[in-house]
Amino acid sequence: MKIRSSAYSFYTLLFLLLVFSACNQASRTAGIVIKEDTRIVSLNGAVTENLCLLGFEKNIVGVDVTSTAPQSIQQLPKVGHTRQIQAEAILSLHPDIVFGLAKEIKPELRHQIESTGAKLILFDLDYSAEGAKQLTQQIADTTGVPEKAAAIINKFDEDMARVEKLPVQPKVLFIYARGAGSLMVAGQSTMLDKVIGYAGGINAAQGFTEFKALTPESLVEFNPDAVLLFSSGYESLQGESGLLASPGMMQTNAGKNKAFIHMDGHFIGGTGPETGAAVYELNQKLKALLK
């Protein structure tokens, strides 16, 4: 009987621990009450856009520099770039809730925010179309408006469904530019890699992940049919003339045909509700280049 009693006690304790763990996990992502006077700081552009579409724009009192949509949000105080944010900039806005992405927030920043009593809500994000939709649903669930996610996700799917099959699959190279002296290219496993593929192209930068510096030799080796840039990067290079003057560019198909595409950075580079529309726009720009 002692063995049975011990076994019973063990399984009872295990059951209670599992229940407690589940409840504790749920409390981290559910039950957030946003009142009229709740003050929110958002540390990611996609998170900010979702919060606005879900009806919480009026609660946002500060954002990071990647938060550029909707346009009205640009009037709010900026707390810096996510990876370089100082806690003081956030805490000076006296937030009740701080939203962001888990992979972007350093441990020390987490501790500083949470030590003030502000609630820190962080989401996981996979850089893909499915990841963008999952983020929308996660934010809607967490903020207590799960039913509002459907319209946003449906619009996303509708935009993606508009993408046309291209007659050929052009090689597209995304260049991140901050002037001619600072050029990086997006490799595989980046959101730009996914967007290029969704739009009907193929990333010219193969064989590595994330971003790496662009050299004249690698540019010639990539030999893209088209070059894609953020509009801010395009301007930093002085536009088409600056791109054509980049070492190695005139030895590529893109340079010879002046096949340069530039789009708003948040629009094409984010992983948010507008990604579907951005993919369709890139698809149409690639289609035009192939004529």
Q: Tell me what the mean pLDDT of segment 44-70 comes to.
A: 96
- Which residues are CB-neighbours of 211 under 8 A, at least 6 positions away? 176, 184, 185, 186, 187, 190
What pLDDT is attached to residue 14? 47
- Amino acid identity, residue 93? L
Calpha distance 60→32 (Å, rounded): 15
What pLDDT is attached to residue 266? 86
Name the band, by pLDDT with cuts 50, 70 and 90, for residue 83: confident
Calpha distance 194→126 (Å, rounded): 11
Q: Tell me what the mean pLDDT of segment 261-286 comes to.
A: 95
pLDDT digits (tens, 9 = 90+) for 121-167: 999 999 999 999 999 999 999 999 999 999 999 999 999 999 999 99
Q: By C-alpha distance, which of 134, 113, 114, 112 is closest to 123?
A: 134
Q: How far is CA 6 from CA 1, 9, 13, 15, 18, in A?
A: 8, 5, 10, 14, 18
Give the tokens for residue 173. Answer: 């190279």
- Which residues are CB-neighbours of 270 under 8 A, at least 6 positions away? 45, 46, 49, 66, 191, 278
* Greater model confidence, 31 or 3: 31
Burial (Cβ within 10 Å: 0-12, 13-18, ≥19) of residue 197: middle
Calpha distance 163→237 (Å, rounded): 30
For 159, the enclosing helix (H) or strand (E) is helix 149-161
> 176 with 262: CB under 8 angstroms?
no
Q: Tell me what the mean pLDDT of segment 237-257 comes to.
A: 96
Give the tokens for residue 13. Answer: 């304790």
Handedness of CA 49, 124, 265, 147 (dihedral sign): negative
pLDDT at 232 over 90: yes
Q: Tell me what the mean pLDDT of segment 54-60 comes to.
A: 98
Calpha distance 242→124 (Å, rounded): 38
Which three-class secondary structure state does DSSP give residue 41? Answer: strand
∠ CA(156), CA(157), CA(159), 5° rounding? Answer: 65
Q: Tell me what the mean pLDDT of segment 173-183 comes to.
A: 90
What pLDDT is attached to residue 9? 53
pLDDT at 21 over 80: no
**CB crowding 265-281: b at 16 or more within 10 Å, else e:** bbbbbbbbbbbbbbbbb
What pLDDT is attached to residue 229? 98
Give the tokens for residue 47. Answer: 């998170």
Q: Tell me what the mean pLDDT of segment 72-83 comes to.
A: 90
Q: Tell me what the mean pLDDT of segment 28-54 comes to.
A: 89
Name the band, by pLDDT with cuts 50, 70 and 90, for residue 182: confident
- Which residues are CB-neighbours of 18 under 8 A, at least 6 positions away? none
Average pLDDT, the chain: 90
Of the candidate ranges 13-17, 54-58, 59-63, the one whose mean pLDDT is the lowest: 13-17
Q: Tell me what the mean pLDDT of segment 197-219 comes to.
A: 96
* Greater model confidence, 182 or 38: 38
Give the tokens for residue 166. Answer: 């291209």
Domains within the chain, CATH numbers bracketed: 40-146 (3.40.50.1980), 161-289 (3.40.50.1980)
What pLDDT is attached to residue 32? 87
pLDDT at 5 over 60: no
pLDDT at 28 over 80: no
Calpha distance 183→211 (Å, rounded): 10
